[in-house]
Amino acid sequence: MPNLNRVMLMGNLTRDPELRYLPSNTAVVNVGMAINRKWKNQQGEQQEETTFVDCEAFGRSAEVINQYLRKGRPVFIEGRLRLDQWQDREGQNRSKLKVVVENFQFVDSRGGADAPGGGGGGGYSGSESPSRPVAVATPAGVDTNTQAHQPVGEEDIPF
């Protein structure tokens, strides 16, 4: 049976990126994200919940995230889930799900000299130069002609 491990998140950073380097000199950055959900309950009262997610990026993506993103900035992240497991000091088994970033896009329009391309909406997949706006990479084997968004009519909505 085929497997799929794909995560797409859009939210705000909860802390500044934490950059470090592996012994192989590969950059690694850790960021936290807050994703808000708002809805009305059965009584019509506004409800809100926040989900906190830890994310990790490697290589050039890690360096770009560290250079351009700060606490509070919105970002769109695509990646995969990874389960980290370890034993704590008391010998208890611990585990935590983390998102490994494969692609990301800047969401806000805080332009200027410190943003890639001078504006928001740029993305980065780790293979392009961050000195210009870039698009999120297309997965291998996907026909890019079918990637274009077509307008959706009311008759296309299943509910």
H or E element: which one contains 59? helix 59-68
Query: Quick one: fold of 7-138?
Result: OB fold (Dihydrolipoamide Acetyltransferase, E2P) (2.40.50)
Averages of pLDDT over each 10 residues, the chain, 159 residues: 94 97 96 95 93 97 95 96 95 95 86 44 48 40 44 58
The answer to whether the pTM exceeds 0.85 is no
Give the CA count within 13 Å in the CB-facing half-sphere of 3.
Answer: 3
In the chain, the amino acid numbered 123 is: G
Give the CA count within 13 Å in the CB-facing half-sphere of 98.
Answer: 17
At 9, list the tokens. 């998140």
At 146, list the tokens. 């079918």
Question: Whole-angstrom Cα distance, residue 157 to residue 159?
Answer: 6
Identify the pLDDT of residue 136: 41
Question: Whole-angstrom Cα distance, residue 104 to residue 73?
Answer: 13
Give the CA distances from residue 142 to residues 115, 145, 147, in Å, rounded to whole numbers and listed in that order.
30, 9, 8
Domain ranges (residues) in the chain: 7-138
